[in-house]
Chains A and B, each alone.
Chain A
Amino acid sequence: MKFRTLLRHFRESFKNIGRNGWMTFASVSAVTVTLTLVGVFLVLMMNLNHIAGNVEKDVEVRAHIDNAANKDDIKGIGKKITEMNGIQSVIFSPKDEELTNLIDDLGDNGDAFKPFEQDNPLRDVYIIKTKSPQDVIKVAKEIEGFDYIQSVKYGQGYVEKLFSFVNIARNIGIVLIVGLLFTAMFLISNTIKITIVARRKEIEIMRLVGATNTFIRWPFFLEGLWLGILGSIVPIGLISVLYYNLYKYAAPQITFKFIELLPASPFIYQVSAILIVLGAVIGIWGSLMSVRKFLKV
């Protein structure tokens, strides 16, 4: 293809947007609606994931070691834990340190424990983090079976509830994705159905006059690209403004420890980039779909 032909296709694709008037409008609207839904959903999902990640990060296993264990036993336990599957980090915390931490954590009330400094009732502890937080329960169960382990704590009950909440939230996310994809496909295929009649004649005539399939496809491809980008403008604007304000005004009101929104600054740009790419893909896909049927090959 000659360069001026490529220029011609660009020119033609811009002209088509104007020539096809309301069809352009219908396609852009379909993309706009779809992307608005996708965008809202994306913001929800990414924040949810962020919060879930925050919560999960704090989950750890604490293995308390029996006082009967000597130094070598303790080292042996540490080695065994390190060699288990899915372990991210193992930290040894001697009982003196545990007590100091406890006293610090309790602040003024901590003084009550001061007398115990001579005769520490606490145990040496291994603090274990797993690579996947969901492995915590399995790892805890396994360590329970080791020698010289007095008890294993990982927030029993609380952790199970947390995980089932996170799983449900993620499943809802998947259901939403699927639902959304169907909506998008429905909207776009409907728009294509409307445009197809007009386009069928157009393509037939182009082939009569000697246009190859590639030649016919190019302006359609570019037109789809422009339609997709046009369709992403409103959703991007809407979501950026809404999220920016949500982050600015609503987020400071939430003081729950783990619940924290993704900072507006990089997040809005990321979502915008995703939406513009999605718009382009949807536009190109829709446009090429509408020609494909009539390009006899």
Chain B
Amino acid sequence: MIEMIDVKKTYPNGVIAINGLNVKIKPGEFVYVVGPSGAGKSTFIKMMYREEKPTSGNILVNGLSLPSIRNSKVPLFRRNIGMVFQDFKLLQTFTAYENVAFAMEVIEKEPEEIKKRVMEVLDLVGIKHKARMLPSELSGGEQQRVAIARSIVNDPKVVIADEPTGNLDPETSWEIMNIFEEINKRGTTVVMATHNRDIVNNIKRRVIAIESGKIVRDEHRGDYGYEI
């Protein structure tokens, strides 16, 4: 499903963010990516959705070799994965409904199907009643629900999240985690970079710890493992 082979990433300014990384993530897994700030978690995530290319090595996602995808084909590749970010990345001039619908319009789905499916996922993340609101009219937690709805609306096999609870209070974070668990239960692979110790220690899943661009720990039902 997701495989990295001898991946190295050096940014143009010379910073070595990932330094020889091998990993395999199987379909249906739920994986936390932890590690200190600047360890390379976001870089690791970005390479999975082809925002960054590795300097050397190979990355396979859904059977595609990412380094060889042309820039103009990147959006096509991304249709098969869902992405969730700390800062939500919603279109500010679009309503909640329109933000989610956009992901389906892009792949030219039937309008009736879009209407039905968007309301369905908005219901799933518990925000159906605010479908007509703009992101600026929603709380952080609500915006993240919209972003999650968008990430799953096309039934991707993988959802990748970079600190999805980073901007949320603890209670809201738990609610968001429940949604991710629900998504994972339905068979979707989830890869999530996080600093949230409580969550990692309570919802036990596979934990990959990255330090200085290398995997230093990979446990089946691991702990967060760092003091805050």
- Which A residues contact B (CB, under 8 angstroms)? 1-2, 4-5, 8, 16, 19-20, 198, 201-202, 204-213, 215, 296-297
Interface membership of B78, Cβ < 8 A: yes
B90 touches A205 (CB 8 A): yes
B 83-131 contacts with A by CB, 8 A? 83, 89-94, 102-103, 105-108, 111
Q: How far is the CA of A82 from the CA of B76 in the complex (A)?
A: 71
Residues of B in contact with A, size category:
20 to 34
Q: How far is the CA of A213 from the CA of B106 in the complex (A)?
A: 11
A209 touches B93 (CB 8 A): no
Interface membership of B72, Cβ < 8 A: yes
Q: How far is the CA of A20 from the CA of B154 in the complex (A)?
A: 28
Name the residue of chain A whose CB is nearest to the CB of B156: A210
Q: List 25 A-B contacts (CB under 8 A).
A: A2-B108, A5-B105, A5-B108, A16-B93, A19-B93, A198-B92, A206-B91, A207-B75, A207-B78, A208-B49, A208-B83, A209-B102, A209-B150, A210-B75, A210-B78, A210-B79, A210-B106, A210-B107, A210-B154, A211-B75, A212-B75, A212-B106, A296-B71, A297-B71, A297-B72
Number of A-B residue pairs with CB-CB distance less than 8 Å in the complex they form: 60
Name the residue of chain B whose CB is nearest to the CB of A202: B91
Q: How far is the CA of A4 from the CA of B107 in the complex (A)?
A: 12
Q: How far is the CA of A1 from the CA of B108 in the complex (A)?
A: 8
Interface membership of B203, Cβ < 8 A: no
CB neighbours (8 Å) of A16 from chain B are 93
- Which B residues contact A (CB, under 8 angstroms)? 49, 71-72, 74-76, 78-79, 83, 89-94, 102-103, 105-108, 111, 150, 154
Q: How far is the CA of A296 from the CA of B70 in the complex (A)?
A: 10
B106 touches A209 (CB 8 A): yes
A210 touches B105 (CB 8 A): no
CB neighbours (8 Å) of A1 from chain B are 108
Between B75, B89, B92, the greatest number of chain A beta carbons within 10 A of the residue's beta carbon is seen for B75
A205 touches B89 (CB 8 A): yes
B111 touches A4 (CB 8 A): yes
CB neighbours (8 Å) of A19 from chain B are 93-94
Q: How far is the CA of A297 from the CA of B89 in the complex (A)?
A: 22
CB distance from B148 to the nearest CB of A (A): 13
B93 touches A20 (CB 8 A): yes
Q: Which 8 A-B pairs have the closest CB atoms?
A: A210-B79, A19-B93, A211-B106, A296-B71, A209-B103, A210-B78, A210-B75, A210-B106
Q: How far is the CA of A215 from the CA of B108 in the complex (A)?
A: 10
Name the residue of chain B whose CB is nearest to the CB of A204: B89
Q: How far is the CA of A19 from the CA of B160 in the complex (A)?
A: 30
Name the residue of chain A whose CB is nearest to the CB of B72: A297
CB neighbours (8 Å) of A205 from chain B are 89-91
Q: How far is the CA of A45 from the CA of B69 in the complex (A)?
A: 54
CB neighbours (8 Å) of A296 from chain B are 71-72, 74
A212 touches B102 (CB 8 A): no
CB neighbours (8 Å) of A202 from chain B are 91-93
| Supplied contacts A19-B94, A206-B102, A296-B74, 16 more A-B pairs, CB within 8 Å | A4-B108, A4-B111, A201-B89, A201-B92, A205-B89, A206-B106, A207-B74, A207-B78, A208-B49, A208-B78, A210-B78, A210-B106, A210-B154, A211-B102, A212-B76, A297-B72
